[in-house]
Amino acid sequence: MLLLVGLGNPGNKYQNNRHNVGFMAVDEIIRRFSFSGPKNNFQAEVYEGRIGSEKALILKPQTFMNLSGQAVGEAARYFKIDVSDIIVLYDELDLPAGKIKFKTGGGTAGHNGLKSMNQHLGDAYHRVRIGIGHPGDRSKVSNHVLGDFAKADQQWLDPLLDAIANAAPELAQKDGGKFLGKVALKINPPRNSGTKKNNSKSEEQD
């Protein structure tokens, strides 16, 4: 069984924060694949369903960000889910807004949610890092992370969340390359480079 985890803070006050983009991403997957739930268990909202052929749980910890690992560790132990079958989606300051990366293992880069995850699970889980950009000044980081996405951000945020959900079957296979490739293709579909004249000739030849 696969365990997808979105990181964020519970409550209406935080729902549009940049720090909650992990919640937003798994919400889109929940909708796309008609997951059932939520059930409130393990200090989290728990959703059940399938992504392609993979049976999956989606977890949204309700412990606040810096205690997220408690909920994930509890659920993983109960369902006997190996850390290699856990994928965490979260906000990443060190990536430009709208960029994403997939990685397995590694440090936390100061992210409190990941610090808690590492404390309770070790660091061998998979990660989808969703870029929210850096404000450029360390003193502004807290307000940036806990600030809401601006209206202008919706131009890249909504298509990105849609593309992540669209590529969830590749994510469920833990194939980072195919996942990122499918996301990129959804956001930037190839354009027909032929001119109108060339297109016309092709139609005539057919």
The pLDDT tens digits for 123-138 are 999 999 999 999 989 8
Alpha carbon distance 116, 122 (integer Å): 9
Q: Which residue has the higher pLDDT, 110 or 67?
A: 67
The enclosing domain of 132 has a CATH number of 3.40.50.1470
How many distinct structural domains can be found in the chain? Answer: 1
Domain that holds residue 191: 2-205
Residues 87, 33, 171: CA angle, nearest 5 degrees: 30
Q: Is 19 a catalytic residue?
A: yes
Classify residue 201 as exposed, middle or buried by CB count within 10 Å of its CB (0-12, 13-18, 19+).
exposed
The pLDDT tens digits for 76-99 are 999 999 999 999 999 999 999 999
Q: According to the model, what pLDDT value does residue 206 have?
A: 35
Alpha carbon distance 48, 141 (integer Å): 35
Q: According to the model, what pLDDT value does residue 199 have?
A: 46
Q: Out of 19, 111, 120, 126, which one is annotated catalytic?
A: 19
